[in-house]
Amino acid sequence: MIQTIQLMPGVQLRCFPAERFKQGCLSFQFLRPMAREEAAMNALIPAVLLRGTEKRPDLRSITLHLDDLYGASVGALVRRIGDYQTIGLHCSFIEDRFALSGDQVLAPMVGFLEELLLNPLLENGVFFNHFVQSEKRNLIATIESERNDKRAYAAAQMLKKMCAADSFGIPRLGEVEQVEAIDAPTLWAHYRKILRESPVEIFYVGTGKPEKLAQWLRPIFEKIHRQPVFLPEQSPFRDGGGGDHVQTMEITQAKLVMGFVTPITNRDSRFAAMQVLNTLFGAGMTSKLFMNVREKMSLCYSIGSGYYGSKGIMTVSAGIDAEKESVVRSEILAQLDACRAGDITAEELRSAKEAILSGLRGVHDSPGSIEGYETTAAIGGLPLTVDDYRRAVEAVTSEDVMAAAASVTLHTTYFLKGIDA
Amino acid sequence: MTEMNYPRLGEKLYRRVLPNGLTVLVAPRPGFTRKMAYFVTDFGSIHRKFQLEGEEFTVPAGIAHYLEHKMFDLPGRDVTAELAELGANVNAFTSYDMTAYYFSCTEHFEQSLKLLLEFVSTPYFTEESVDKERGIIDQEIGMNLDAPDSVIFEQLMEGMYQKHDIRTPILGTTETIRQITPKNLHLCHRAFYTPGNMVLCVVGDVNPDRVAAMAEEILGQEQRPVAKKCPISAENLTCPIAEQSRKMEVAMPTFQLGFKCRPIGTGPDAVRQEVIGDLAAEALFGESSPLYLRLYEDGLIDQSFGGGFETVDGCAMLTCGGDSHNPRAVRDAILAQAAVIAADGVEEAAFRRMVRSALGRRIRDLDSFDSTCFRLCAYYFSKFDYFDFPAVYETVTTGEIRDFLKEVVQRERCSLSVIEPLV
Query: Touching check for B423 and chain A: CB below 8 Å?
Result: no
Closest by CA position to A382, among listed A308, A303, A295: A308
Q: Which fold has domain B243-421?
A: Cytochrome Bc1 Complex; Chain A, domain 1 (3.30.830)
Beta strands in A117-208 (DSSP E): 122-123, 126-127, 200-206
- Angle, to 10 degrees, between the axis of helix B268-285 and the axis of helix B327-344? 110
Q: Which fold has domain B2-229?
A: Cytochrome Bc1 Complex; Chain A, domain 1 (3.30.830)
CB-nearest to B87 from A70, A71, A355 is A355
Could you read off the pLDDT of A377-405 as tens digits, one per residue?
999 989 899 999 999 999 999 999 999 99
Predicted pLDDT of residue A421: 66
Q: What are phi and psi of B326, to 5 degrees?
A: -145, 75
Cβ separation B250–A67 shorter than 8 A: no
Could you read off the pLDDT of B393-421 as tens digits, one per residue?
999 999 999 999 999 999 999 999 999 99
Domains B2-229 and B243-421 equal at CATH topology level: yes
**All domains of chain A, ordered by start, with CATH?**
3-222 (3.30.830.10), 243-418 (3.30.830.10)
Cβ separation A354–B133 shorter than 8 A: no
Could you read off the pLDDT of B4-31 as tens digits, one per residue?
999 989 999 999 999 999 999 999 999 9
Q: Which 3 state secondary structure label does DSSP give B77? A: strand
Q: Which 3 state secondary structure label does DSSP give B139? A: helix
Query: pLDDT: is A184 or B135 the higher one?
Result: A184
Percent of chain A with pLDDT over 70: 100
Q: Which of A25-29, A109-113, B265-269, B313-317 comes out lowest in average pLDDT?
A: B265-269
Could you read off the pLDDT of B301-319 as tens digits, one per residue?
998 999 999 999 999 999 9
The mean per-residue pLDDT over the stretch A320-328 comes to 94
- The band of B234, judged by pLDDT with boundaries at 50, 70 and 90, is confident
> Distance (Å, rounded) from C-alpha A124 to C-alpha B161?
54
Cβ separation B364–A94 shorter than 8 A: yes
Predicted pLDDT of residue B78: 86
> Distance (Å, rounded) from C-alpha B210 to C-alpha A23?
30
- Position A314 pLDDT exceeds 80: yes
Contacts with B12 (C-beta within 8 Å, 6 or more apart), sequence order: B3, B4, B5, B6, B27, B28
Interface test with B, best of A358, A371, A390, A417 (most B CBs within 10 A): A358
Q: Report the DSSP beta bridge partners of residue A292.
A: none
Closest by CA position to A107, among listed A60, A222, A99: A99
Cβ separation B363–A21 shorter than 8 A: no
The mean per-residue pLDDT over the stretch B263-268 comes to 90
Could you read off the pLDDT of A21-33 as tens digits, one per residue?
999 999 999 999 9
CB-nearest to B290 from A60, A94, A351 is A60
Could you read off the pLDDT of B63-111 as tens digits, one per residue?
999 999 999 999 989 898 899 889 999 999 999 999 999 999 999 999 9
Query: Touching check for B293 and chain A: CB below 8 Å?
Result: yes
Closest chain A residue by Cα to residue B35: A362
CB-nearest to B367 from A22, A63, A320 is A22
ipTM (interface predicted TM): 0.85
> Distance (Å, rounded) from C-alpha B61 to C-alpha B84?
31
> Distance (Å, rounded) from C-alpha B44 to C-alpha B63?
9
Chain B: nearest CA to A18, how far in angstroms? 11
Q: Where are the domains of chain B?
A: 2-229, 243-421
> Distance (Å, rounded) from C-alpha B192 to C-alpha A339?
42
> Distance (Å, rounded) from C-alpha B22 to C-alpha B195?
4
pTM of this structure: 0.91
Supply the mean pLDDT for chain A.
Answer: 95
